[in-house]
Amino acid sequence: MKTKLSVNINKVATLRNARGGNVPNVLTFAADCERFGAEGITVHPRPDERHITEKDVYGLAEIYTTEFNIEGYPNERYMKLIRDVRPAQATLVPDPPGVLTSDAGWDTKQNLELLTDLANELKELGVRSSVFVDTNPVNIEYASKAGIDRIELYTGPYAEMYDDKREDAIAPYVHAAKLASELGLGVNAGHDLSLDNLTYFKQQISSLAEVSIGHALISDALYLGIENAIQMYLRCLKD
């Protein structure tokens, strides 16, 4: 299946916030990413607004033309944004306040009631639900029991092992994706995917619906330019 590339623009907002003002302009950058071939825009508006702000979310909701994916811990602040904006996808992550980056998935069995309630509300809103999980089969099974639409596989461990043992690194993801598909779940992936390791990941997981990539892609854009970087990542995702 075709795998969509969603560009996470958090780092662009980080650069803007470091200086103040509105350079670079997050909305313009998102529109350019779409113009250059990105098939989605991802943001993660954290409570401290150290990168993407609530204002950014509402502004992006007015201008995006592809798919809008809003990540975050599903507290009342986050859910208000989802209710107001109605993005294509809400990706639920189990981040505690103040965490630097998302580095672990949900214990979906322990949080079954919460995730079931959230899945039901998102369905009523017409928003596709996704949960950030590791490759543990139990977490995938309970994501399905909760009525979630997709899982997003946390690919940090894959990226860490890729250079030394890529066959071992990919194996649990292949099994996880197969189980997800058998349970009727869509499969997304994200975290530390890069030009070095993305092609192999895509080749091994044919059911991959979407990847969300921010840090590596924006870093590559410093050397390549954002248009070239997006095109290179898209080439990695070709069948």
Q: Could you give the CA distance from residue 198 to residue 202 in angstroms, rounded to a whole number?
A: 6
Specify whether 215 is catalytic.
no
Out of 34, 39, 67, 71, which one is annotated catalytic?
Answer: 71
Catalytic residue among 44, 67, 152, 210: 44
> CB–CB of 154/105 below 8 Å?
yes
Active-site residue, from 51, 67, 152, 191: 191
CA distances from 165 to 19, 122, 148, 237 (A): 41, 39, 32, 21
Structure tokens at 145: 């029991």
- Establish whether 175 is a catalytic residue: no
Can you tell me which residue has the tokens 């189980």? Answer: 179
Catalytic site positions: 44, 71, 191
